[in-house]
Amino acid sequence: MEQPIRVLVAKPGLDGHDRGAKVVAAALRDAGMEVIYGGLHQTPEAIVQMAVQEDVDAVGLSILSGAHMTLFPKVKEHLNRAGAESILLTGGGIISAGDMDKLEKLGVGQLFGPGSRLADLVDYIEKEVARRRTATRSA
Amino acid sequence: MTELASLDEQELVVRLRRGDQRACARLMTWAERNDPRFAVQHRAFCDELGVAQRIGITGPPGAGKSTLVEGLASHWRESDDRKIGVVAVDPTSPFTGGALLGDRVRMSRLVLDPGVFIRSMATRGVFGGLARATDDLADVLDLFGCHSIMVETVGVGQSEVDIARSCDLTLVVLHPGGGDTIQAMKAGLMEVADIYVVNKADMPGVDRLVQELFDVLELREIPEDQQPPILTAVASTGQGVPELAEAIDGMVRDRRDSGRQAERRQDNLERRIRRLVDGRLRHEVWQARGLSDLLHQRLAEGGKLSAYELADEVLDQYQQAAGHPANLLGNISQTDPEDSP
Ligand SMILES: Nc1nc2c(ncn2[C@@H]2O[C@H](COP(=O)(O)OP(=O)(O)OP(=O)(O)O)[C@@H](O)[C@H]2O)c(=O)[nH]1
Ligand SMILES: [Mg+2]
């Protein structure tokens, strides 16, 4: 039997509202995933610590503050340092195509800008986690 | 660091003993997935288990269970630096198989403390307030060196009382805004409490709730010295938490010294073994022997059928396929329904 995908959804940084993150969390749950909701104002260190203890397949970050160019790389760096580079890092926010490219080069997964559909995010996580699970199994 | 997937199981446990959180987390994942490697390792380390005190925390939704877990953990970290493990269980949706595990939001103060390990888990189709592998996860935390392990159940309705059978001591957390809490408790929650916590003591209605509790307890006519204590707290500010921590530690100590803890652990172990056997038999009947398919086939044929007739048919088929003596099947159908997850 296929095991449920486990995802940590969190909102790093200082901006106040977590509606976006909650909507994403609910959509992933409705798609059959186990969503660990990490809440607001999390530091990159805290996010990675949670991801490690929960042994998640993916981390989804909602960043609306415009700080994505510092926060995504920091989380990625801490994931690598913790030996958890196989965890998919994805998310969304107000992010330009150029920034998305730069982040992808750092090993961050696909990101979803304004106007993207939740169904695309769900799809992406399902496919990418399946791919990574097969890759580690045959390693 | 090396990828975990490339490690064999012994290496994983070696790393866990060294305090590697990732290894600890992965062993838990194996347990949750019913990976046979977990059972192999469990046999090897089981004689090291039983060091930690296991505290169950149950009560209606929103009573403040998670907030209280955070408060107790912070208190113990400061008072005697003990290592803390937390397992927080939330329900899986029966429709989508998904789950929203939200207890961590109230425990964010603990995240960066290396002496605290928190794991969220979904019930994955099991009713009773816990998941199939909750005891396994607590075992892993025990092996990891946690001194106190707190298990938060799903916010209960009335019948989710499995927690009492998986821990040394159960806290039932109530709050004044909980509606007809006491009413619900008469139906089961009442029997499992070792300590009552009336939380949100900063809200109106606390005195009344405490009084109601006393009244209900009186009806049970338990000897005075065995009445579960009732403590009040404001989990969100920490008020009453040191007293609660002390009550828990004291009760654990008394029960260890009097032998009651050993007795209870023995009972819990028996139930756990029965659950494992039930689960394997169920798998054997429905999946391994393909009898699920047989049942679907028979149902698809239509017509009016007695449920009893079909149940007999399924068990007959199982018996033939398995070549088991008839009395084994007799035992299956007589399984105490209470013990089935
Ligand atoms: N006024 C007041 N609010 C509290 C207290 N303790 C917790 N809360 C609040 O009550 C709400 C629920 O608290 P949780 O700790 O999430 O309750 P829970 O029992 O874990 O909830 P579920 O896991 O969803 O069943 C939160 O908004 C808390 O901040 C308290 O002592 N007083
Ligand atoms: Mg909770």
Domain ranges of chain B: 1-48, 50-258, 267-334
Q: Taking CB atoms and an 8 Å limit, are B122 and A34 in contact across chains?
A: yes
Mean pLDDT of B163-185: 80
Q: Are B23 and B16 in contact (CB under 8 A)?
A: yes
User: Rounded to a whole number, what is the distance in Å from the CA of A127 to chain B's nearest CA?
Assistant: 17
Q: Are B248 and B167 in contact (CB under 8 A)?
A: no
Residue numbers in B near A86 (CB within 8 A): 3, 5
* Res B338: pLDDT: 41
Q: Where are the alpha helices (DSSP H) in chain B?
A: 9-17, 21-32, 36-45, 65-80, 134-143, 181-186, 189-192, 206-219, 241-258, 260-283, 291-300, 307-322, 326-333
When the pLDDT of each residue in chain B is averaged and rounded to a whole number, the result is 87
Confidence label for A1 from pLDDT (cuts 50, 70 and 90): low
Is residue B269 in contact with ligand 1, taking CB distance under 6 Å? no
Q: Dihedral sign, CA of B297, B303, B306, B307? A: positive
Write down the architecture of domain A6-138 according to CATH.
3-Layer(aba) Sandwich (3.40)
Most confident option among B126-140, B235-249, B312-326? B235-249
Nearest chain A residue (CA) to B92: A34
Name residue B131's amino acid: A
When the pLDDT of each residue in chain A is averaged and rounded to a whole number, the result is 91
Domain ranges of chain A: 6-138
Q: Which of B272, B295, B326, B226 is nearest to B130 (CA)?
A: B272
- Asked if residue B340 has pLDDT above 60, the reply is no
Confirm whether pTM is higher than 0.80. yes
Give the 3-state secondary structure percentages of chain A, helix then strand then coil, rounded to 5: 50, 20, 30
Chain B residues 68-87 with a CB less than 8 Å from chain A: none
At B114-124, the pLDDT tens digits run 999 999 999 98
* Res B172: pLDDT: 92
Q: Dihedral sign, CA of B282, B283, B284, B288? A: positive
- Asked if residue A138 has pLDDT above 50, the reply is yes
Superfamily of domain B50-258: P-loop containing nucleotide triphosphate hydrolases (3.40.50.300)
CA distance from start to end of chain A? 21
Neighbour count for residue B179 (Cβ, 10 Å): 10
Confidence label for A104 from pLDDT (cuts 50, 70 and 90): very high
Mean pLDDT of B73-90: 96
- How far apart CA B173 and CA B157 sit, in angstroms, is 13
- How far apart CA B140 and CA B156 sit, in angstroms, is 25
Q: Is B222 exposed, middle or buried (0-12, 13-18, 19+ CB in 10 A)?
A: exposed
Least confident window among A64-68, A116-120, B271-275, B311-315: A64-68
Cβ of residue A78 closer than 8 Å to a chain B Cβ = no
Q: Are A46 and B108 in contact (CB under 8 A)?
A: yes
Q: Are B96 and A29 in contact (CB under 8 A)?
A: yes
Report residue B162 as tokens: 């499995």
Most confident option among A8-12, B8-12, B155-159? A8-12
Least confident window among A22-31, A91-100, B183-192: B183-192
- How far apart CA B159 and CA B330 sit, in angstroms, is 28
* Res B332: pLDDT: 45
Choosing from B236, B237, B239, B243 the residue with most ligand 1 atoms within 8 A of its CB, the one to mutate for a pocket test is B236
